[in-house]
């Protein structure tokens, strides 16, 4: 029988991919299998969850004779750029043809990791595209907060006390006591110092909040997939949740289809369907799918598309 009309799964749209680079559903990691000249390589790139951050690179040579591997990050579409000095990816102790290294990705966007090979069959290189996307916000650990706040208060109160003491006692002769005028002036100086430091703290907190808000806007948000069932037909619509104002109508075919849809029955996850919804008019973000016979239940939907 067909999928019932009370299907209510609305799940996330996952993965911006470019063949022949593949990633696992729900994973940002990039897996590449290809050739750099005469060398057949398996390359795994684990992008950082926070940008700037460190990407982990693994290179496995299926062709013997690789002696050195260098890796370097480059902007994907930049025509001219000053590339950093490539880093050496040393071989592991257990496997001389398995190389690992790390690279800093300093900005959000489309990058590529160039892998330079030196071996018995001469030099060769290849580039593997990788997206650098902030997936989450790194929060401060609780114990660190409890340590820094008291230290900050001590620093502020100490500076206020120093300002008052400098006005009250800086020009006194040794052993002399400050008179009433100096005491009054020191109190005024402490009030002024407190106001100035309060302004500095307020301005710093405002700057920090503005930076956090900006960073929050660039934290990756997958396209939303709105689903509705009409009889035996599934209607889908892509919606942008507001991440970098992406388009939803610029999709390219991947393996012959604009969308690869996976329907998984929940919570048992005992049934999986791989479907290919048809797109609407050109430059449309709507899709339809005639449903096969499926047991009644609740289904999670995952869509794979290429921008």
How far is CA 126 from each of CA 32, 114, 129, 132, rounded to the nearest angstrom?
11, 6, 10, 19
Does residue 90 share a domain with residue 112?
A: yes
What's the rounded Cα separation, in Å, for the pair 10 and 16? Answer: 19
How sure is the predictor about 16, in pLDDT bands with cuts at 50, 70 and 90? very low
Does residue 151 share a domain with residue 110?
A: no
Judge residue 98's burial from the number of C-beta atoms within 10 Å of its C-beta, 0-12 exposed, 13-18 middle, 19 or more buried: middle
| Residue that is last in its domain, among 218, 235, 263 | 218
Q: What is the pLDDT of residues 177-226, one digit of tens each?
A: 888 898 999 999 999 999 999 999 999 999 999 998 888 888 888 888 89
Residue 18 placed within a domain:
no
Peptide bond into 52 cis (omega under 30): yes
Share of the chain above pLDDT 70, in %: 90
How sure is the predictor about 160, in pLDDT bands with cuts at 50, 70 and 90? very high
Does residue 108 share a domain with residue 186?
A: no
Q: What is the pLDDT of residue 139?
A: 82
Q: Which residues pair with 55 in a beta bridge?
A: 103
Domain that holds residue 212: 142-218
Judge residue 108's burial from the number of C-beta atoms within 10 Å of its C-beta, 0-12 exposed, 13-18 middle, 19 or more buried: middle
| Residue that is last in its domain, among 70, 99, 132 | 132
Residue 23 placed within a domain:
no
Q: Spell 27-36 as b/e; 16+ CB within 10 A means b.
A: ebebbbeeeb
Q: What is the pLDDT of residue 13?
A: 33
Q: What is the pLDDT of residue 224?
A: 87
How sure is the predictor about 25, in pLDDT bands with cuts at 50, 70 and 90? low
Q: Is the pLDDT of residue 30 over 80?
A: yes
Structural element, H or E, at residue 42: strand 39-46
Confidence (pTM) = 0.62
Judged by average pLDDT, the poorest of 13-17, 33-37, 139-143, 192-196 is 13-17
Does residue 167 share a domain with residue 202?
A: yes
Q: What is the pLDDT of residues 266-300, one digit of tens each?
A: 999 999 999 999 987 766 789 999 999 998 889 99
Share of the chain above pLDDT 90, in %: 57
Residue 67 placed within a domain:
yes
Tally of domains within the chain = 3
Residue 52 placed within a domain:
yes
Residue 5 placed within a domain:
no
Q: What is the pLDDT of residue 282?
A: 67
More confident residue, 114 or 170: 114
Does residue 199 share a domain with residue 126?
A: no
Does residue 52 share a domain with residue 124?
A: yes
Structural element, H or E, at residue 144: helix 142-169
Does residue 83 share a domain with residue 152?
A: no
What's the rounded Cα separation, in Å, for the pair 49 and 56? Answer: 11
Rg, the chain, Cα only: 29
- Tell me the CATH number at 239: 2.60.40
Does residue 98 share a domain with residue 83?
A: yes
| Residue that is last in its domain, among 198, 218, 238 | 218
How sure is the predictor about 158, in pLDDT bands with cuts at 50, 70 and 90? very high
- Tell me the CATH number at 99: 2.60.40.10
What's the rounded Cα separation, in Å, for the pair 210 and 91? Answer: 43
Residue 210 placed within a domain:
yes
Does residue 33 share a domain with residue 109?
A: yes
Average pLDDT over residues 257-266: 93
Does residue 120 share a domain with residue 39?
A: yes
Does residue 240 share a domain with residue 206?
A: no
More confident residue, 284 or 48: 48
Does residue 124 share a domain with residue 35?
A: yes
Positive or negative, the CA dihedral 243, 246, 251, 255 is negative
More confident residue, 194 or 79: 194
What's the rounded Cα separation, in Å, for the pair 13 and 225? Answer: 6
Residue 211 placed within a domain:
yes
What's the rounded Cα separation, in Å, for the pair 109 and 96? Answer: 33
- Would you list the DSSP string of 22-38? B--TT---EEEEEEETT
Residue 78 placed within a domain:
yes
């Amino acid at each position: 029988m067909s999928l019932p009309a009370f299907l209510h799964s609305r799940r996330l749209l996952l993965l911006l991919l470019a063949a022949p680079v593949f990633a696992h559903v729900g994973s940002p990691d990039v897996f590449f299998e290809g050739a750099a000249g005469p060398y057949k390589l398996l390359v795994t790139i684990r992008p950082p969850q926070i940008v700037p951050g460190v990407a982990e690179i693994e290179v496995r040579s299926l062709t013997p004779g690789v002696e050195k591997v260098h890796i370097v990050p480059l902007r994907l579409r930049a025509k001219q750029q000053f590339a950093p000095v490539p880093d050496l990816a040393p071989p592991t102790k257990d496997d001389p043809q398995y190389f690992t290294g790390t690279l800093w990705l300093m900005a959000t966007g489309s990058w590529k990791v160039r892998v330079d090979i030196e071996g018995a069959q001469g030099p060769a290189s290849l580039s593997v595209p990788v997206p650098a996307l902030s997936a989450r916000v790194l929060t401060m650990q609780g114990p660190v907060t409890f340590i820094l706040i008291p230290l900050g208060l001590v620093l502020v109160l100490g500076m206020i006390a120093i300002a008052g003491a400098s006005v009250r006692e800086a020009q006194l002769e040794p052993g002399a006591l400050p008179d009433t005028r100096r005491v009054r002036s020191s109190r005024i100086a402490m009030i002024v110092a407190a106001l100035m430091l309060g302004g500095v703290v307020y301005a710093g907190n405002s700057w920090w909040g503005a930076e956090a808000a900006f960073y929050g806007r660039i934290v990756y948000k997958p396209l939303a997939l709105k689903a509705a069932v009409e009889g035996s037909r599934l209607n889908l619509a892509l919606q942008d949740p507001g991440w970098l104002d992406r388009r939803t109508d610029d999709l390219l075919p991947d393996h012959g289809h604009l969308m690869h849809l996976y329907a998984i029955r929940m919570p048992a996850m005992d049934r999986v369907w791989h479907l290919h919804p048809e797109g609407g008019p050109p430059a449309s973000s709507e899709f339809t799918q005639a449903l096969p016979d499926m047991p009644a239940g609740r289904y999670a939907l995952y869509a794979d598309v290429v921008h």
